Structure 1
């Protein structure tokens, strides 16, 4: 981990990027530009909100104004606590809220990291309209290469763009006033698709992976779920790890109504989407939802873990997320249990899985994807 210093309204901050790729900083030029753009608006008593901070640079950089912070990713809480501990002179670190329990406002100033997905940006701006004070401002910033397609149109459809600040170090910040667009009237909030054997469409909010059509990797895994579920003992537990909209776990639940099925995802919009989809199921008393990165140490062991691991985190692409999930799965796999996972063929997950599991077998394959079954791993 690389420790570096960032100049902010709260003074110079020491920041690290926990668990990330070695050599990467805990902030980028968009964070710097957002903090600089915020300075003319800062005043005592200002009600400040930070949305989707990455590693705490924005929240800690404005710590003297006691901002609230809300993020889709469960990783921010750990990053924020870690970086707050490196800067003990700052006020107490705020709790991180998420989209299952968002803040209520009103807010005078909002600092927003622009997401890559146009749909999620449209959702965020409409939600912000509901919590922005009458004379409030939204400062939305991101790296230009990561801005979503049609971002200008997305802003125009939801808020009033007051100023586009000059680009700096390949970053851009837009200053906006609130608009009249709201979430209840927005028809794009929920998108989904039907899945054979399920009682209704599998729907998801905009920040969730593959919300509009079934992911082709998941398509390879679904036919193997009934047999895998049939091997789970009557009192056994099933986990849909990195669950997204929950299609894998929902398919397991459809095959065994009343089973103890857990869903875990780093995205709060993913967990909210699973909760939404579960409303169509009867007897969901044994279902548990976990908004967390991987599997927390205090969770139980599982007889079956279903997994379609992501291979990108923000702008970083690689197998580092999958390796963390393999490690967690190995630690929480009950004796005799199985991990059923799918991955891109070119990533060579059969080699990675053998670092954590004693038995790894191929169960299905297509030109792009491979399904593996791993058993009884030892870390």
Structure 2
């Protein structure tokens, strides 16, 4: 475990970034430092303010502002584990009892919302409209991000949704925007759901703004879909099948279309992905009773599964690579039945054939194109 020390107006924090041993990958960015500095100044002058931290990544904002007892909301299930790990390194700092998600969002209004800006334009637009409903009339929204990661049209997205009060100069390649409540609301915004028609089934698949490939079927999943039918044909009725990192649920939906007698589970690190998969399943298969898990991978005790379907993410917080896939492969191997199989698609250049062999004695290539490869792996 590699740790580093963050100095900020409230003191210092020893922080680690879960999932990596690379010392160059810190658990905070210059955007976190900007938010801590500005929020500390605001809250020192306004004691008793009700504070909400939104989409903190590894706990720097939550721990840094712990003296002001913030409530915390995050789309990603990663934050809870990261908070617990970093709280153990900083025993004098309290963490909240609960991390809210979009599955269970906080209620009421806030004097200050501290927002780590996402990379996705639509998700930023969604967040700003949600914040308008969660801010008190004279409340303040502070949003910051690394300039190279700011969504397209960020200036327009803010101008269309909130009242921009100040834009900071660039500090260590980060920028902070201070806003007041605007008039734009989610309930009349047409961008909440976007989707596409899924092949011959005539099934419409929709997703919320934080979900990968919500407007069109990504080409990796397209290559994998024809292999679901042969992969499921030999399964007995009632077997457990997991759509891991499910996104909008397209793999699990196709599996249910072909085998309505399976016990389907959808899991994703994003709460908006889980909501999207639940929405799509409810529309397409109202009689089905699938399970939905907001989880960073496969939690202990969730298995065993007879089939695990996976199109793994290959980037996280600006870092591109196979580190997420390797963790998911390991968890899949631990949670497959003795006769179970992992069916997955991945980018050809990441060399997943060798990675899979670290965890599975049997690995077979099912398909490939210039960009993607489909594999089956098992015990």
- Give the C-alpha shift of residue 2 in structure 1: 2.2
Indicate yes or no: 2:41 matched with 1:40. yes
- Give the C-alpha shift of residue 9 in structure 1: 4.4
Equivalent residue number for residue 5 of structure 1: 5
Contact persistence 2:220–2:372 (CA under 8 A): yes
Deviations for 1:18-39, whole angstroms, at most 9, x for unmatched residues? 1135111111111001111113
Contact persistence 2:348–2:373 (CA under 8 A): yes
Indicate yes or no: 2:17 matched with 1:30. no
Equivalent residue number for residue 164 of structure 2: 161
SS across alignment from 2:125: helix
Alpha-carbon separation, structure 1, partners of 2:123 and 2:286: 30
Equivalence map 1:1-379=2 (5 Å): 1-23=1-23, 24-42=25-43, 43-198=46-201, 200-280=203-283, 281-285=285-289, 287-376=290-379
Contact persistence 2:268–2:297 (CA under 8 A): yes
- Give the C-alpha shift of residue 148 in structure 1: 0.8
The alignment yields a C-alpha RMSD, in angstroms, of 1.2
Deviations for 1:243-289, whole angstroms, at most 9, x for unmatched residues? 1100000110111224200111111110010111111113222x111
Contact persistence 1:218–1:342 (CA under 8 A): yes
Question: Normalization by structure 2: what TM-score?
Answer: 0.97
SS across alignment from 1:76: helix
SS across alignment from 1:163: strand
Alpha-carbon separation, structure 2, partners of 1:198 and 1:77: 38
Contact persistence 1:67–1:94 (CA under 8 A): no
- Of the structure 1 ranges 41-50 and 7-16, higher mean CA displacement relative to structure 2 is found in 7-16
Runs of at least 5 residues in structure 2 that lack an aligned partner in the other structure = none
Q: How many residues align?
A: 375
Contact persistence 2:238–2:261 (CA under 8 A): no
Alpha-carbon separation, structure 1, partners of 2:93 and 2:370: 53
- Give the C-alpha shift of residue 203 in structure 1: 0.4
- Give the C-alpha shift of residue 11 in structure 1: 2.1
Question: Normalization by structure 1: what TM-score?
Answer: 0.97
Change in 2 beyond 3 A, CA 1:140/1:32: same
Contact persistence 1:51–1:111 (CA under 8 A): yes
Contact persistence 2:36–2:64 (CA under 8 A): yes
Deviations for 1:18-72, whole angstroms, at most 9, x for unmatched residues? 1135111111111001111113310321100101001100011110110011011
SS across alignment from 2:190: coil
- Give the C-alpha shift of residue 140 in structure 1: 0.4
- Give the C-alpha shift of residue 87 in structure 1: 1.4
Change in 2 beyond 3 A, CA 1:197/1:290: farther
Alpha-carbon separation, structure 2, partners of 1:18 and 1:193: 35
